[in-house]
Amino acid sequence: MQEWHRFEKTFRFDAWCDRMKLPKAEKEALNEWIGQAPDPIKRAFRIEIKDNRVVSFQGEAMIAKAVKRG
């Protein structure tokens, strides 16, 4: 691996669920599950909740550059 970068990325919950093609029932269940997460988890993932709905959360992403040898 020649180079890599790690970065934080904020995900909008509704848009993320749409990209994952979550059925409505699963999206609602996930919203409830995240909403009930302990506060340390909510802080770690910077979960934003408004009116009992998950608005956004933050994850990590990485991009790598590799060079084939030989």
pTM: 0.77
Among residues 30, 26, 24, the alpha carbon closest in space to that of 47 is found at 30
SS3 51: coil
pLDDT for residue 6: 92
* Nearest-10 Cα torsion for 30, 18, 22, 49: 10
Tokens of 41: 């988890």
pLDDT at 49: 98
What are the average pLDDT values for consecutive 10-residue runs of the chain, which has 70 residues? 90 97 98 97 97 96 89
For residue 69, the model assigns a pLDDT of: 86
Is residue 49 left, alpha or beta, with left meaning phi > 0 and alpha meaning psi from -120 to 50?
beta
Domain residues of the chain, as ranges?
A: 3-65
pLDDT at residue 47, as a whole number: 98
